[in-house]
Chain A
Amino acid sequence: IAGITQAPTSQILAAGRRMTLRCTQDMRHNAMYWYRQDLGLGLRLIHYSNTAGTTGKGEVPDGYSVSRANTDDFPLTLASAVPSQTSVYFCASSEGGHNEQFFGPGTRLTVL
């Protein structure tokens, strides 16, 4: 692995189903983030983690949960998907503070 990876690349999901988006980085970055990107809107922060074992809520956390059991992995779970969660989801990591964020390739999720 080089950098940050996400899985799946894309997914079509029935409303009400549970879904976990995976994110793994091999850069040993402390901070990790989940964003959603919708047409005409900026990236919006869902949840973040400043270090393994801690998580925090971003701008749009409702309907999503995260965990950070170790440095490398930061999964995002939709407990019961709704159509408004149709979006492109990006995971990112950084050394923290004012350092740049590195983005994964994204997961395109469609909830029907």
Chain B
Amino acid sequence: GQNIDQPTEMTATEGAIVQINCTYQTSGFNGLFWYQQHAGEAPTFLSYNVLDGLEEKGRFSSFLSRSKGYSYLLLKELQMKDSASYLCASSDSNYQLIWGAGTKLIIKP
């Protein structure tokens, strides 16, 4: 079957680092996406990984291990505006996205 798991909610402190994990089981895996979604808004693209390893984009980094069916999103120097839900999605053999339920990240001062 196809499945995506990520924690429901996480809390972190402003200025700190947080890692949001995602595990997946996807037939014909074609890559892993991370999106950010602020409350009441549309998801916006953060990152895409198809090869093993770490991709860094400013304060955000994303990691993929295909053999383990595992990814994480790393957010550094947390800011209050990073309070949002973070959605993990895997791409299947038809390039359709299978979405996790999202991780709500709460940032405290």
Contacts of A90 in B (CB 8 A): 42-43
Taking a contact as CB atoms closer than 8 A, the residue among B31, B50, B95, B99 that contacts A43 in the complex is B99
Given contacts A98-B31, A98-B91, A100-B33, contact A45 B44 (CB under 8 A): no
Q: How many interface residues does chain B have, given as a range?
A: 20 to 34
**Chain A residues with a Cβ closer than 8 Å to the other chain, count:** 20
Number of A-B contacts defined by CB within 8 Å = 45
Are B96 and A48 in contact (CB-based, < 8 A)?
Answer: yes
CA distance A43 to B102 in the complex (A): 9
Asked if A83 lies at the interface with its beta carbon under 8 angstroms from chain B, I say: no
CA distance A35 to B42 in the complex (A): 11
Tell me the smallest distance from the CB of B60 to a CB of chain A, in Å. 14
Are A100 and B45 in contact (CB-based, < 8 A)?
Answer: yes
Are B43 and A103 in contact (CB-based, < 8 A)?
Answer: yes
Contacts of A101 in B (CB 8 A): 45, 97
Are B96 and A45 in contact (CB-based, < 8 A)?
Answer: yes
Q: Which residues 87-101 of B sit at the A interface, judged by CB distance below 8 A?
A: 87, 89, 91, 95-101
Asked if A102 lies at the interface with its beta carbon under 8 angstroms from chain B, I say: yes
Give 1 or 0 for each of A67-109: 1 = CB within 8 Å of chain B CB. Answer: 0000000000000000000000010000011101111111000
Asked if B70 lies at the interface with its beta carbon under 8 angstroms from chain A, I say: no
Tell me the smallest distance from the CB of A37 to a CB of chain B, in Å. 9
Asked if A44 lies at the interface with its beta carbon under 8 angstroms from chain B, I say: yes
Tell me the smallest distance from the CB of B9 to a CB of chain A, in Å. 11
Given contacts A42-B4, A98-B50, contact A106 B42 (CB under 8 A): yes
Asked if A53 lies at the interface with its beta carbon under 8 angstroms from chain B, I say: no
CA distance A58 to B45 in the complex (A): 21
Q: Which residues 32-53 of A sit at the B interface, judged by CB distance below 8 A?
A: 35, 40-45, 48
Contacts beyond the supplied A42-B99, A98-B48: 13 A-B pairs with Cβ under 8 Å = A42-B87, A42-B89, A42-B100, A42-B101, A43-B99, A45-B96, A90-B42, A90-B43, A97-B95, A98-B31, A100-B33, A101-B97, A103-B43
